[in-house]
Amino acid sequence: MTDTTTGTGPLHPEVLGRGILRGLGQVMFQRNEFTGLLFLAGMAIASPWVAVGAAAGAVIGPLVALLLRLDRGEILDGLYGYNAALVGAAALSFLDFTPLTWGLALAGASVSVPLTWLLRRVVPFPTYTTAFVLTAWGLLFIAGGLGDRQPEAPPEPTTAVDARPRWERFAAQVADGIAEVMFGANVATGACFLAGLAIGSWRHALVAVVGASLGTLVAAYHHDPQAQLDLGLYGYNAALAAIAGWLARPSWLAVIVAAAASVPLVEFFPAGLGFPALTAPFIMAAWIVLAILALDRGTSACI
């Protein structure tokens, strides 16, 4: 039985298991199975069903990739697991818990694998979670057509007075923003995700905090709805974009530009489409930074 990345025989279950957990970690750019475990634990704190959906997707992704005979090294690095995991989590987050939802979740996780492979081959720059976004939007469209409920509308602004000190509320918003990367607006979930990031890379953990903080501050400056701020809806895209910016150019200027750019993309996402923004603003913000680096060598050198 072979378990190397270049072998053609069956993978040892322990090796495949590490690849599955790495797929969960790759949601936030971490090739680390312990990170994946902490991410899964964090999701379970916020919603056990969403955690089950993510786990199912994380398993289906590499299994489908193996059936399609895709690159074994990429499979074990989790590169075919993270989009599938997010699709599974999104289905259980936005749709009712019915057999139809489970069928859509499993089908969507499977479809995301060849889509991930295709996008990685035809798009000349990182595609990040594009396969997840396109697949999830497709699932929500199908679910609406089949009579399941549509994604919930953004929460209405609240007029209730929050008695917490301002710094405490802000810290909770930042933690919720990090947790919302995988649909869990929960401080404990955010702490688990942050711990998982720190295991993979303490720098990425710091960058995520800076990104979520900046996204939250910019949204507050723009007087965006308080209820959305409290749910971390302006933090999670900013956190992901910040890490992507750091990976493109390890500089705080790249981090700041990426995180700040994500906020207006969240604010002006066309709500008329009837679909949630998901991680589309993060993708576009990261691409903006990549375009700056590619088109202007002087700016690139500065960043």
> Domains (ranges, CATH) in the chain?
13-145 (1.10.3430.10), 166-302 (1.10.3430.10)
pTM over 0.85, yes/no: yes
**CA 120 – CA 127 distance, rounded (Å):** 7
* Inter-residue contact 68 to 116 (CB < 8 Å): no
**CA 242/CA 290 separation, integer angstroms:** 12
Average pLDDT per block of 10 residues along the chain, 303 residues long: 48 81 97 97 96 97 95 95 98 92 96 98 95 96 68 50 81 96 94 97 98 97 94 96 96 96 93 84 97 72 52
Task: Give the pLDDT of residue 129.
Answer: 98
Find all residues with CB under 8 Å of 302, minimum gap 6, and list them: 253
The C-alpha angle 135, 141, 143, rounded to 5 degrees, equals 100
Q: Are the C-beta atoms of residues 26 and 32 closer than 8 Å to each other?
A: no
Is residue 252 within 8 A of residue 260, CB to CB? The reply is no
Contact assessment for residue 23 and residue 82, using Cβ atoms and an 8 Å cutoff: yes
So what's the pLDDT on residue 250? 94
pLDDT of res. 158: 52
Q: Which DSSP symbol is given to 149?
A: P
Q: What is the pLDDT of residue 147?
A: 53
Determine the distance from the C-alpha atom of residue 51 to the mean position of all C-alpha atoms in its chain, rounded to a whole number: 14
Encoded tokens for 98: 């019915």
Q: Which ranges constitute the DSSP H helices of 82-201?
A: 82-94, 99-122, 130-145, 166-179, 187-200
